[in-house]
Amino acid sequence: MQLSIVIPCMNEEESIPLLIDRLKGVVEPWKENAEIILVDDGSTDGTWEAIQVAHRKVPQVHGIRLSANRGHQIALTAGLEVAIGERIFMLDADLQDPPEILPEMMLMMDAGYDVVYGRRAVRRGETVFKRTTAFLFYRILNSLSDVAIPNDTGDFRLVSRRALNAVLEMPEQSRFIRGMFAWVGFRQIGLEYVREARTAGVTKYPFRAMLRFATDALTGFSIRPLRFATRLSFLSLFVTLLMAIYVVGSLILFNTAPGWASMVLAVSFFSGIQLLTLGILGEYIGRLYVETKRRPLYFLSEEVGNCENTEIKKESIMKKEVT
Ligand code: UDP
Ligand code: MG
């Protein structure tokens, strides 16, 4: 059986040698039937050189390089499109997800599952902020989304060929891959593991990237925020009613000039609601715009390996290369 391991890398020159060392033992049972696909997502450090070195040391390593940085989810997509294995294992380059869990995931897949996802029981070496926002993110996402996306999971998982093919049928630009796998269905199961601290380097998900990732997930898997505007209009109706009573009451009882405070309050309350709902609309319209352009997700600029040293034969994968 053929196995593909897909790893997106952006500025991971220090992690790659450690990663390859750990993976060597893991792929041993598959020998020539395994490929390790490292995707260089427009790195600015020596990541591509590190991938070439890794290929010389371990022939199963197959490197592809994107023409520019496209982000974690698209880099992962590029690797998944290139993979030819019957089972595909995805992990991050920083070894936060232990590759040694693979045999256990394999056993679960033997039992008939199509997706075995890692569930983070403990997260080590991450800030309280990251842990809290991640915790809240999955709960909010699940309360809004129509698809049950398992809590506290990442893209760390083993998937079957048919589950992967189903996901690759989905052409969207804003990709939230763990949600897409949840959406395609089949039999899925979680396996708990301890998420370790990064082995080297720093996180490539600054707050801005996390926010974007979260809005992609929310807008990609729920249209409920759009209905929020309707709900808010009920609230504003109620508040207006209370204000009307107050205004009429004070006019009769105190015979005062109309109050300045209530005016300011009303104006700021309703303009706040309007801005908020406009913003929500904007998030969806912006994504509609990006989707309608139907641009290719990425271009490949370089390749190393393509498994010439392994028994896996494939046609040229440089289909998206621009020459
Ligand atoms: N990554 C990528 N492109 C990016 C950002 C990240 O390919 O634009 C890769 C990164 O090299 C790593 C994985 O995605 O292998 C997860 O990123 P990171 O570990 O920085 O995220 P965190 O674990 O901190 O959420
Ligand atoms: Mg990480």
State the pLDDT at residue 250: 77
Cβ of 79 below 6 Å from ligand 1: no
Predicted model pTM: 0.76
Residue 323 to residue 321: CA distance in whole angstroms? 6
Indicate which ligand has the atom closest to the C-alpha of 70: 1
Which residues 6+ apart lie within 8 Å of 11 measured at CB? 43, 44, 45, 47, 201, 204
pLDDT of 259 reads 67
Cα–Cα distance measured from residue 15 to residue 91, given in angstroms and rounded to the nearest whole number: 13
Considering every ligand atom shown, identify the ligand nearest to the alpha carbon of residue 92 and give its number. 1
CATH H superfamily, domain 3-222+295-322: Spore Coat Polysaccharide Biosynthesis Protein SpsA; Chain A (3.90.550.10)
Pocket test for ligand 1, best of 5, 205, 213, 298 (most atoms within 8 A of CB): 205
Question: What are the tokens at 71?
Answer: 């982000």
Pocket of ligand 1 contains residue 55 by CB under 6 Å: no
Residue ranges covered by each domain of the chain: 3-222+295-322, 224-293
| pLDDT at residue 197 in the model | 80
Report which ligand 1 atom has the smallest distance to the Cα of 92. 15
| Atom of ligand 1 at shortest range from CA of 12 | 11
User: Which residue has its alpha carbon closest to ligand 1 atom 14?
Assistant: 72
Burial (CB < 10 A; 0-12, 13-18, 19+), residue 295, is exposed
Neighbours of 318 (CB within 10 A): 16
Dihedral through CA 37, CA 179, CA 219, CA 270, nearest 10? -130
> How many Å apart are CA 155 and CA 119, to the nearest integer?
10
Mutation pick for ligand 1 pocket among 72, 138, 202 (CB with most ligand atoms within 8 Å): 72
CA of 289 to the centre of ligand 1 (A): 26
Cβ of 16 closer than 6 Å to ligand 1, yes or no, is no
Q: Which amino acid is at 144?
A: L
* Six token digits for residue 60: 């199963």
Ligand approaching nearest to the C-alpha of 75:
1
| pLDDT tens track, the chain, 323 positions | 799 999 999 999 999 999 999 998 888 777 788 899 999 999 999 999 999 999 998 888 999 999 999 999 999 999 999 999 999 999 999 888 899 999 999 999 999 999 999 988 777 777 888 888 888 888 888 888 878 888 888 899 999 999 999 999 998 888 899 899 999 999 999 988 888 887 777 888 878 888 888 888 888 888 778 777 777 777 877 887 887 787 777 777 776 666 666 776 777 777 777 877 888 888 888 888 888 888 888 888 888 887 544 444 444 444 455 55
